[in-house]
Structure 1
């Protein structure tokens, strides 16, 4: 057999995405180029790796076994590269981080300098909701996770990064003068929620429950950006992290609505499984965070003190 690493990479991506079109987009290749490489790879086997039923591509059982072996070969190749750069005195390897959705406004600042100083490192950041972040930790799929609420069921180590404050906000067009009370704000105005599994949604629900407000109009959206855009369009109010609305407040597109008991305060924490054996890259990043977090906050997040 004379397969190439390039063919292995393409085949693994096709298996992962179940689509030649999606694989070509992900790999920045043309669809014909991917199809040709798949055909050349297939020609080396007497048994079909994939089959097309209708317009849907399926991976055969044999193809799935070959994909597992191909992925193992690719990973071993990466290990050789990492060991080579390590022998040359360079830090190399993969760093995998799962981040709660709002963490996308935080995490880049706490990794940019480390990543720039270590160009041999491969970085993977999965931005999702809290429930999926916890699942990634539980399954040992990541080195670290960025969360604002520590999950109870896992034994974790953590480093506190910075505070996370949540405020009730409305668009500049929202006229608070017309509302008779804060109770009316929550009971007679549409409220915009994140989806179930979101830490922001949980904080918002706990606050409303504690106050005893009865929500009559509810809108549910699946991302912080979607919630922000809905508030900007004056569809309703929402309790959101301050970290995600800096520009909208600066441009006076959004307004913070003063409410007793708000803002809610939590902390962004970098967490990892207590039993996890951290890689050299992960250990180096942990030392970087402990050493540099205060200066990063001073440099990039002083603006939060204005609110």
Structure 2
């Protein structure tokens, strides 16, 4: 086959978005150019890679197998580019950072500071759950990740850079908001609004409840911190959230953080990458930047919100 890496990238992006138009936007190409590359890739392979249903593109069985090898080749090319950049010591090119939801409250501002020092680096952000980020790291879809507890698979290097406290949050009208101290056992009677089971916040909450032998009622499960905050402020229940996700609401009196026995839970923010992967100079520069400035950035952010 005389297939090109450009065609491999097009196939991969169309498979990711199931759309020629969205893939074209991601690749900075026109939709006709993407369609042409898909047709040429299928001509080279001699088989149909996508089923067309209106504007939706779905992989055929052949396409699913082809995508596995396409991504392997693209990952190998990325490794080669990163290694050549290391020899040149070029802090340029694209840097893709993965983050869990709670990191979205501080990471964009930190990235803005990084970009000011490294303007030649094209930085992209990808938001996903901890488990999905592990898959994305393994597939070379992201270079580094910012998260709490790293995934168990694949083997990673996780370096802590800042404290990540988790607290109980309640409505300002809740009786806990006026209490000087709340014993852990009092939580047994509270309706809890929780994150999805594979989230780090949900796992931290479950460990806390198990340690205090508490079996509360989980009344709602929500996939985002924003949705949980709105439900808590509406008085629909209580929750455990990262302190970094509620700074604005807390400082404006929209949400309360009572003093609860055994809280806050002191976790850590980590910068994470695949242990066996050689980082590009841009990724190494970002890693050093986070380890050097991450903690002071978070402290300054929380101090500003508190004031």
Shift of 1:244: 0.4
TM-score, normalised on structure 2? 0.75
Kept in 1, the 8 Å contact 2:148–2:268? The answer is yes
Residue range with higher mean Cα deviation, 244-253 or 38-47: 38-47
Deviates more, 1:10-19 or 1:42-51: 42-51
Gap regions ≥5 residues in structure 2: none
Do the aligned residues in 1 keep the contact of 2:247 with 2:302 (CA within 8 Å)? no
Separation of aligned partners in 2, 1:238 and 1:162: 22
**Contact in 2 for aligned 1:188/1:216 (Cα 8 Å):** yes
Q: Superposition pairs for residues 267-306 of structure 1, below 5 Å?
A: 267-293=268-294, 295-297=296-298, 299-303=300-304
Aligned mates of 2:177, 2:301 — CA distance in 1: 35
Q: Is the 8 Å Cα contact of residues 148 and 269 (structure 2) preserved in structure 1?
A: yes
Look up the match of 1:128: 128
Matches within 5 A, 1:214-233: 214-233=215-234
SS at match of 2:217: coil
Q: Is the 8 A contact 1:187 1:217 kept in 2?
A: no
Look up the match of 2:94. Answer: 94
Q: Which has the larger radius of gyration?
A: 1
Deviation at 1:163, TM superposition (A): 0.8
Q: TM-score, normalised to structure 1's length?
A: 0.75
Q: Which has the larger displacement, 278-287 or 49-58? A: 49-58
Shift in alpha-carbon separation, 1:92–1:183, aligned structure 2, 3 A = closer
Moved more, 284-293 or 33-42: 33-42
CA contact (8 A) 2:8 2:70 kept: no
Shift of 1:20: 3.3
Using the TM superposition, give the Cα deviation of residue 265 of structure 1 relative to its aligned residue in structure 2, in angstroms. Answer: 0.7
Unaligned runs of 5+ in 1: none
Aligned length: 300
Matched, 1:246 2:228: no
State how far apart, in whole Å, the 2-side matches of 1:195 and 1:135 are.
18
The question of whether the paired residues in 1 share the 8 Å contact of 2:194 and 2:218 is answered with: no
Residues 260-269 or 143-152, more deviating = 143-152
- Partner residue of 2:160? 160
What is the RMSD computed on CA atoms of the aligned residues? 4.3
Comparing 257-266 with 19-28, which one deviates more in the overlay? 19-28
CA apart distance, 1:168: 0.8
Cα pair distance change 1:279/1:90, threshold 3 Å: closer
1:34 to 31, 47, 62: 31
Q: Which residue of 2 aligns with 1:190?
A: 191
- C-alpha distance after superposition, 1:257-305 (max 9, x if no partner): 221111111111213333322222122223333443455345434358x
* Cα distance in 2 between the residues matched to 1:217 and 1:63: 39
Residue pair 1:194, 1:221 contacting (<8 A) in 2 also: yes
Which stretch shifts more, 97-106 or 63-72? 63-72
Alpha-carbon distance between aligned partners in 2 of 1:136 and 1:43, rounded to the nearest angstrom: 27
Give yes or no for contact 2:11–2:67 (8 Å, CA) kept in 1. Answer: no
SS of residue paired to 2:271: strand
